[in-house]
Copies of this chain bind each other. A is one copy, B any other.
């Protein structure tokens, strides 16, 4: 596979899953502005918990980074999440009639715990590169979803969803994703070791949207 960047190859190998993510009912209805608000509210409470796990995950990645440059980038993202992303969430929660305490009290679903645990276990016990490969699909699919559905969004009348989605069009978000891809493109490790966590995380992304759409609880109890 000469001349193909690692990130491009990963994207190709995950294509069947990503197509299903791009066309997931939750995503479609969200960008069209017709998603029932209670599903969005459920999603936002879950995502608040995911955000905290993600901050933890970038902390682990930072502690494992092999170069000062990579460590700084991981810390930059973790800090971004801990500050501006956190504030955005608190504002969004308020707009949805929630307090921050509601978010903290809300129990993460099975899918949320599983996905978060997968990220943390991979980053903690495998190499930095494998951890980064597991981390990438979340950020990258959000960017691709935004690009894929931009026409729908332009016609979207739901200001709440419009505002939420707009973040993923910003130059700063695109830059962030490109930085992570660029970092991974320089990974010094067999491709197959990266493919595993990238594919698994892509599947978790799909399941996460399904969980949100079904306002899913544990399969038991």
Q: Which A residues lie at the B interface, using CB under 8 A?
A: 16-17, 20, 52, 55-56, 59-60, 62-64, 66, 68, 71-72, 74-76, 78-79, 82, 86, 104, 110, 113-114, 116-118, 120-122, 124-127, 188, 190, 200, 203, 206-207, 210, 218-221
Which residues of chain B are near A121, meaning CB under 8 Å? 116-118, 120-121, 124
Nearest 8 CB-CB pairings of A with B? A114-B114, A59-B62, A120-B121, A59-B63, A117-B117, A79-B79, A117-B121, A124-B124
* Nearest-Cβ distance from residue A207 to partner chain B, whole angstroms: 6
In whole angstroms, how far apart are the Cα atoms of A14 and B62 in the complex?
31
In whole angstroms, how far apart are the Cα atoms of A127 and B56 in the complex?
15
In whole angstroms, how far apart are the Cα atoms of A117 and B124 in the complex?
10
* Nearest-Cβ distance from residue A103 to partner chain B, whole angstroms: 10
Q: Is the interface of A mostly helix, strand, loop or mixed?
A: helix
* Nearest-Cβ distance from residue A34 to partner chain B, whole angstroms: 24
In whole angstroms, how far apart are the Cα atoms of A210 and B218 in the complex?
13
Q: Are A125 and B220 touching (Cβ within 8 A)?
A: no
* Nearest-Cβ distance from residue A45 to partner chain B, whole angstroms: 15
Q: Are B118 and A124 touching (Cβ within 8 A)?
A: no
In whole angstroms, how far apart are the Cα atoms of A33 and B154 in the complex?
61
Q: Are B117 and A203 touching (Cβ within 8 A)?
A: no
Which one of B78, B127, B218 lies within 8 Å of A62 (CB-CB)? B78
Which residues of chain B are near A219, meaning CB under 8 Å? 206-207, 210
In whole angstroms, how far apart are the Cα atoms of A190 and B67 in the complex?
14
- The verdict on A220 contacting B200 (CB below 8 Å), with A59-B75, A120-B124 known, is no
